[in-house]
């Protein structure tokens, strides 16, 4: 409600109730409004509390599920990375095929004949 709407309501109340009853009516309205506000806040608080525990359990379950799924995936990823590193190391330490190949031109096979 804007300020002009409140002024219109107060003026109407002044006309209907008169100057003698208006202060008591405003006090009564204030008490009722305060009580309604307290009840509303209490209801909201109870509502939040009622849903807080199930939501917390849901979040914990979701996190546990995520961890259970991600742990094997991370292990596979790490294993693949390690295998790739081992392959790279093996490739670096293996003799060069061009220089140490027994089938190079001019070389002979085990039985002494030239390769075909």
Q: Please tell me the predicted confidence (pLDDT) of residue 35.
A: 95
* Length of the chain, in residues: 116
Task: Spell out the domain ranges in the chain.
Answer: 18-86
Handedness of CA 68, 69, 74, 75 (dihedral sign): positive
Give the phi and the psi of residue 62 in degrees, each rounded to 5.
Answer: -65, -40
What pLDDT is attached to residue 34? Answer: 93
Q: Nearest-CA neighbor of 22 among 7, 10, 5, 4? A: 10
CA dihedral 42→47→49→51, nearest 10 degrees, is -170
Model pLDDT for residues 24-83, shown as the tens digit of each residue = 988 998 999 999 999 999 999 998 888 888 889 999 999 999 888 888 888 888 898 988
pLDDT for residue 114:
58
Q: What is the pTM of this model?
A: 0.40
Instruction: Kindly provide the residue ranges of all beta strands, DSSP E only, lying in the chain, ordered along the sequence.
Output: none
Structural tokens at position 20:
């003698």
């Amino acid at each position: 409600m804007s300020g002009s709407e409140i002024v219109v309501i107060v003026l109407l109340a002044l006309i209907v109730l008169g100057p003698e009853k208006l202060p008591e009516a405003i006090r009564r309205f204030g008490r009722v409004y305060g009580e309604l506000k307290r009840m509303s806040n209490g209801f909201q608080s109870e509502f939040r509390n009622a849903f807080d525990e199930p939501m917390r359990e849901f979040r914990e379950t979701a996190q546990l599920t995520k961890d259970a799924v991600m742990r094997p995936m991370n292990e596979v990823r790490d294993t693949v990375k390690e295998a790739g590193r081992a392959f790279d190391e093996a490739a670096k330490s293996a003799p060069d095929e061009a220089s140490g190949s027994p089938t190079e031109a001019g070389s002979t096979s085990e039985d002494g004949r030239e390769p075909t």
